Chain A
Amino acid sequence: MAQTEPVAAMPPPQPSYLQRVVKPLFGTPLNAVISLICLWLFWIIVKAVWGWLVTRAVTEGGAAVCRASSGACLPFLVTKARFMIFGVYPYDEHWRPGLSMALFFAAIGVSMMPRFWGRWLLALWAMVITASMILIAGGVFGLRAVPTTMWSGLPLSFILTAVGLALGFPLGVVLALARASKLPAIRIIAVVFIEVIRGVPLISILFMASVMLPLFMPTGVTVDKLLRAQIAIIIFAGAYIAEAVRGGLQAIPRGQHEAAGALGLHYWQSMRLIVLPQALKIVIPPLVNISIGFFQDTTLVTIIGLLDFLSTIRTAMLDPEWIGAAVLEGYVFAATVYLVFSYGMGAYSRYLERRLRTGHH
């Protein structure tokens, strides 16, 4: 007797709870030992954090109470929150940097959605940066002018990063094209520039900008301290972006260049219409990683005396009234802010990498 009806496909075996959870953790003696050690570590970390942040935390009172306690000093965070975020920016005008940060967040949100990718995004960013500058600097539309020495806190960190990347990007693309050029003189200039900048620490470039830029200017021209740091960051970003873009340019097959030439396009046309759109798409994930790095690197301007986010945090902690009361709190707050932004952007970059990976895997 032959089977004529097809046999119904059996469902794939579902791993049991035991197989899914217990086996990887306690399947072998070694794994069991590792799991126990990990559990113990988890326990220590959770206990320490919980004790500091919840059980022993000071929720009310002033500096004296905090000095006596070994827990987190929440009143410090509450009292100093606005100073830590906005720094020495005039108190009544905090809504201006606040609004500009909201604009930044909105622009970042829009840029993160691939369906909005296009040329107009560049225009959007140009607009957001200009609007933030007007908001923070003031002096027009009835806004009170605020000198750059008072720009501080988280908005300053955002401005330094955003302007640095926005202007570093075109610089980087030009440098990458120059480095890939067939003309030896242009290539050598680009290689020397990129390698020198990448071979020295950002601090040394910041020092150079803050000490030597005034010497470079003709007599009578002074360069604002913030502008000096910003120029250093743009140059630094340019060199790193150039290397990322070079990777993208190298991934474009020769045939694309040749096809563009066969269509009668000259160099700039073929770059603008054929090569760069493909190359830049490949390098979006590394560029996001570079952006995260730069957001963290802007903390270095503390060393040349600008009041960025890390610097306002430190200033708040060194306030004579609170000194000794909050040793950790400020740093933990700052670290949380940086962690949330950087981790978020990193997760986004990994998502993009998966999304853009077409074909090969």
Chain B
Amino acid sequence: MRLFYDLRVRAVFYQVLAVAGVVATGWYLASNVSQKLAEQNIVTGFAFLGREAGFVISQSFIDYKPTDTFARALLTGVLNTIWVSSLAVTFATLIGVVIGIARLSSNPMLRSLAFFYVEVLRNVPLLLYLFLWYGLIITMLPPVREAIELVPHVFVSNSGLTIPAMMWSPAHTNVLVAFAAGVVLAMLVRRRMIAQRVVTGQARRVWPWVLMSLFAPVLIAVLFFQPEIVIEYPEKGRFRLTGGAHLKPEFTALLLGLTLSASAGIAETVRSGILSVQKGQWDAAKSLGFNRGMSLKLVVLPQALRVIIPPLTSSYLSLFKNSSLATAIGYPDLVLVTNTTMNQTGQAIEGIAIMMMVYLGLSIMISMLMNWYNARVALKER
């Protein structure tokens, strides 16, 4: 009994107890599952992934046809999820920053309008908004035959949004790659020149060189590959619209709902970030001779970002996870495709395992990316 009063012995004992509890629960559940599966004659395993899916996915980012495998169907779902989330993140951030700044405006009217925007979006469930936007699109808008032309060449109807599209060719892809190379090059040049300035003490203009290294590769690529810019405008025919890019109502409603709801959260984050920088910082920057732009860039923003990044990360993560509500209005995201797969194959455990693994993996990736960025802007103490 003496032995049990030893703290180290106790620590080991409790840990063994906890692990044993988890293992025993897992064992018990697993044995129940295998018994049930045996009764229902369900074969476990991921072999079903190679079989023909046989169901239609209404809209997909990559080529998919019903004769493809379940694996490809699931991949289509994953890519649809990523596609709509990344578009929504981009738009939500842009709108969120603008609204967040508007919340702090000196103009009381703008301030209250921004406040109204944030509260109305934040306090109503996203699912309700999705149903509302979707319902509005399919019931309030006219049929395709009477599509409304919002601005020239942009049509809305109850079958979605039709916009002009650019014909994409391999030459365009090459130019895009060149642009990416230009971004990397510009970053390297900038870093190099700033390092040189520190060493030599001579101030040289950085931005012309940065701009040149940013656009030179694109320019060379354009001259070399000569991409043709052909814009296809939607034409209003007698019964339908032809040409252009077509966004289905499910996609439009989902993108709208995700963007608006997330932008309200991001606006609040931006607002609290800017508020967290005390007024004295502006004054101090001014007394050092910085103008407003420089103070914002060199003094205020670096401090505000430190406060903004962690909650922004969780906004992004929840937007990504909320994209799963797509399934309620019939956009074929990962959840909807997995659900169809589970219904067709009866492989519930595998389906849910895949779904959770993909979400978990992507969530971890997003938070790692944001943590890396956060570490860069975080306060560096001795």
Chain A interface (Cβ within 8 Å of chain B)? 24-25, 31, 34-35, 38-39, 41-42, 182-186, 189, 196, 198-204, 207-208, 211-212, 214-219, 292, 296-297, 299-300, 302-303, 310, 314, 324, 327-328, 331, 334-335, 338-339, 341-343, 346
Contact = CB atoms under 8 A, between A and B. Distances in A.
Contacts of B220: none
A242 to B, nearest CB: 15
Contact of A297 (B123, B125, B135, B327): B125
Given A185-B15, A199-B359, A335-B128, A34 B107 contact: yes
B324 to A, nearest CB: 4
Contacts of A339: 119-120, 123-124
B379 interface: no
B19 interface: yes
Given A41-B113, A215-B348, A310-B127, A302 B328 contact: yes
A204 B335 contact: yes
A300 B128 CA distance: 10
Contacts of B36: 214-215, 219
B348 A183 contact: no
A186 B18 contact: yes
Contacts of A303: 127, 325, 327-328
A214 B15 CA distance: 30
What 3 pairs across the A-B complex have the smallest Cβ distances?
A: A342-B123, A185-B15, A296-B125
Q: Determine the interface band of chain B, counting residues with CB < 8 A from chain A.
A: 35 or more
Contact of B110 (A38, A201, A299): A38
Contacts of B266: none
A24 B127 contact: no
Given A215-B348, A331-B128, A183 B105 contact: no
A348 B346 CA distance: 47
Given A200-B321, A342-B124, A185 B349 contact: no
B33 A216 contact: yes
Given A200-B360, A219-B35, A35 B131 contact: no
22 contacts: A31-B107, A34-B110, A38-B107, A42-B113, A198-B363, A199-B360, A199-B364, A201-B321, A204-B356, A212-B352, A215-B37, A219-B36, A299-B128, A300-B325, A331-B128, A338-B125, A339-B119, A339-B123, A341-B123, A342-B124, A346-B122, A346-B123
B361 to A, nearest CB: 8
B107 A217 contact: no
